[in-house]
Amino acid sequence: MMDIVRTLRLDLLVKLLLAVLLGGIIGFERELAGKPAGLRTNILICIGAALLMDVSIRIGIADGKRIGDPSRIAAQIVSGVGFLGAGTIMQAQGVVTGLTSAATIWVVAAIGMSVGAGFYVEGMSAGLLVTFVLAGLGRLEHWVRRARRVVSATVRAKVGTPPGEIATVLSSHGIQIDAQRIFDHPEDRVFELKLSGPARQFEIMTASLLSRDNIFGVHVD
């Protein structure tokens, strides 16, 4: 029986199936949330990390003795997945998106590495915890984003831009101007503002202002 297990690598099959399960659970939650790194992406990353981790451990063994460093390939998984995660991060008009997807890809690879190394309890515990964080804490994050927030902002605009135009854009996103100072320079007009409104609206407001031709820059503290 042990010869059959070693020949067919049934232990590796168990690892890969567990990687499919854990990557699929996390990927399914991402798919429901409409994220670009969804079901298949997370499953493939988890399987790949598990397989490479298993190879990394076995490749340094000859005649039952350790002759190599098992961390060689494992270290490359970490850096390689980092590049993959960076590809999911997008920046447009000052708004950064995809950070959660990038972090999910990174942690799914870590789960796959744990499973590939034979640390099943650790991998399963991490998989369930990650699923809870992504699904269970989504409502908390939504509540936090809806909470009212007071910030300072600086808007750099074209000379002669009327204050009412800035106020109109802000109010359309539910943001109120509590105080403002205007400084005119030969090349631009600078608005120093104290704003209050729903936390999640400030990124949207920033993108909306930057899409206008007469707005040169927006900085929110």
The answer to whether residue 61 scores a pLDDT higher than 80 is no
Give the amino acid at 82: G
pLDDT at 99 over 80: no
Is the pLDDT at 101 greater than 70? The verdict is yes
Question: Could you tell me which residue, 6 or 168, shows the higher pLDDT?
Answer: 168
Domain extent listing, the chain: 2-136, 147-220
CB atoms within 10 A of CB 50: 29
Architecture, CATH, for domain 147-220: 2-Layer Sandwich (3.30)
Query: In the predicted model, is pLDDT for residue 198 greater than 90?
Result: no
pTM for the complete prediction? Answer: 0.61
Handedness of CA 69, 74, 75, 80 (dihedral sign): positive
- Per-residue pLDDT, 22: 92
Q: What's the rounded Cα separation, in Å, for the pair 25 and 179?
A: 48
Strands (E), 118-209: 148-157, 176-184, 189-198
Highest mean predicted confidence (pLDDT) among 52-66, 133-147, 173-187, 199-213 = 173-187
